[in-house]
Structure formats: C-alpha cells, structure tokens
C-alpha cells in the first residue's frame, strides 16, 4: 500500500500567513504542518509516500522533508502540480507511483488526534473500492462548509458538498483510501464549475458503483487550512494533547472537531 500527501493549494483562507510560504510549512505547535500527515501514514505502517505540491514554495518543502528518513519514511518521492487543478487532479499525478497498488491519500492540513491505523487496517481488509473516514459534527453551520455523507441503511448513498441542509452529521475528513481504479475514475472526470477535478466527484463515482465503505472517527479532527481561527484551534489541541496518538491513549477532552 502506498501513501500520498497532498500539500499544494494556494492557502488563501490563511492569508496573510501564507503570502510568503506554503501553508503546509506553517507550524502546528512545535513542527511544520505537513509532518503530521507523514507521521500518520508511517504510524499506520505505510512506508512509501509521495508528496504532491505546487506553487512557488516547493523548494522549501523539499528542503524540509528531504529523502524522508528523518520522518520515518522508507521511500519518499515528490510530484509537482503546475497549476491549482483540484484535489483529484493532484492525486492523479501519483498514478505511476501507486503502480496498481492501493493508496491512502491525506490532505496535509488535516490533523487527527488519534492514529488512523485502525481505519487503514479496515481498508486493507475490504475486498476493493474506496473507504472514507467520517467525523460526527454537531454544528449544522460547520457542516454547511464541508462534504457531508448521506447514509441509508448503513451505506453511503451520496456525498453532498457544502449542503444548505446537511443530510447527516457525518462529514468527510481529509483522508481517503482507494484501490487502483481511482485513477481511471479521475481520468473520466469533467472539471467542475470552478475548473477543477473534485474529490467529491471521485467519491460519488465509488458511491454509484456501490464500492465505498466508511468508518466514523472516534476523536479529534481539525482542518488547519479552513480558516485562521481553525488553524489556531488545531494548534491549541495539539499543544494540549498531541496528534496521531495510539487509540488507547486519549485524554478526556479529546472531542471530534
């Protein structure tokens, strides 16, 4: 199984913090943001990782991560996205790296309180298709800014992006598991209205095929790139309780994001 960390994007929601750097190089407590995604993958037993980045600060990311050995990676590769073309387009750049294997994809601005190793094990055990990790969010206003799963009889029947009326409390977090068919799915996508290839369209393609599973997160999840307020909320959580902890190691104030 391979891991892909998506560390591109313009970081406009964190402006002015991102005017002179890639947002994934900003600190989360005591180290750069991108290292948490790599730590999560390595902690789940994934040693071969590709980082996909873009923009004008890719060199700084390369200098930070190097060959990956400092961060426990067995093999670290990079790919460069020439222009902002969406999460799905960025993932498509990893096709030759994945080379027919399964892949776990992480958005580098997503931080988890607990290890994702149990979710990865469930993904490995399923026969084929995709697997999502959902978070139970009790704030309807927050859900209106996220991708939300519609559930019927224990199955995902749709992913609704930024719904006016959320179909459930289960939001799609920034970690995805796919079999190798994901790259054919991406190749068949049409750009959205904003001219990008959307990961929600990828996930809904697996929904339409009836080949998507999910787990519900038990613990904290935060999108540090969502806003400056969210960035500092994630920083504060990690300062108090850490990130990517083994599931049994959970402080009492660890709540879903």
The per-residue pLDDT for 205 is 98
- Contact of 82 with 45, CB cutoff 8 Å: no
Domains and CATH numbers, the chain: 2-241 (3.90.550.10)
How far lies 95's CA from each of 115, 240, 255, in Å?
Answer: 26, 38, 35
Over the stretch 158-203, which tens digit does the pLDDT of each residue have?
Answer: 999 999 999 999 999 999 999 999 999 999 999 999 999 999 999 9
- Contact of 184 with 98, CB cutoff 8 Å: no
**117 burial class (0-12, 13-18, 19+ CB within 10 angstroms)?**
middle
**56 burial class (0-12, 13-18, 19+ CB within 10 angstroms)?**
exposed
* C-beta neighbour count of 187 within 10 angstroms: 11
C-alpha neighbours within 13 Å on the C-beta side of residue 65: 30
Average pLDDT value for the chain: 95
The per-residue pLDDT for 252 is 40
The per-residue pLDDT for 184 is 98
- pTM greater than 0.85 (yes/no): yes
Angle at 32 between CA 223 and CA 24, to 5 degrees: 50
Each residue's pLDDT, cut to its tens digit, for the chain (257 residues) gives 999 999 998 889 999 999 999 999 999 999 999 999 999 999 999 999 999 999 888 999 999 999 999 999 999 999 999 988 999 999 999 999 999 999 999 999 999 999 999 999 999 999 999 999 999 999 999 999 999 999 999 999 999 999 999 999 999 999 999 999 999 999 999 999 999 999 999 999 999 999 999 999 999 999 999 999 999 999 999 999 999 999 755 444 444 44
Q: CA dihedral defined by 175, 178, 180, 181, rounded to 10 degrees?
A: -120
The per-residue b/e assignment along 123-140, b for 16 or more CB within 10 angstroms, e otherwise, is beeeeebbbbbbbebeee
């Amino acid at each position: 199984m391979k891991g892909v960390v998506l560390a591109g994007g313009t970081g406009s929601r964190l402006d002015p913090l991102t005017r002179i750097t890639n947002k994934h190089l900003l600190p989360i407590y005591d180290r750069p943001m991108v290292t948490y995604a790599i730590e999560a993958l390595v902690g789940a037993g994934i040693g071969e990782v590709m980082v996909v980045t873009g923009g004008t600060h890719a060199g700084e990311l390369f200098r930070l991560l190097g060959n990956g050995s400092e961060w426990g990676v067995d093999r670290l590769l990079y790919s460069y996205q020439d222009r902002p073309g969406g999460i799905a387009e960025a993932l498509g750049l990893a096709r030759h790296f994945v080379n027919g294997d399964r892949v776990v994809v992480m958005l580098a601005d997503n931080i988890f309180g607990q290890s994702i190793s149990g979710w990865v094990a469930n993904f490995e055990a399923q026969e084929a298709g995709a697997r999502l990790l959902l978070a139970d969010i009790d704030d309807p206003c927050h859900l209106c800014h996220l991708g939300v799963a519609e559930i019927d009889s224990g199955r995902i029947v749709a992913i609704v992006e930024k719904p006016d009326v959320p179909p459930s409390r289960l939001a799609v977090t920034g970690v995805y598991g796919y079999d190798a068919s994901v790259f054919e799915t991406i190749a068949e996508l049409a750009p959205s209205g904003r001219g990008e290839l959307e990961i929600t369209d990828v996930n809904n393609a697996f929904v339409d095929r009836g080949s998507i599973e999910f787990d519900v997160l038990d613990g904290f999840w935060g999108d540090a790139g969502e806003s400056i307020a969210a960035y500092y909320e994630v920083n504060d959580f990690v300062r108090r309780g850490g990130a990517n902890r083994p599931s049994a190691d959970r402080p009492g104030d660890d709540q879903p994001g």
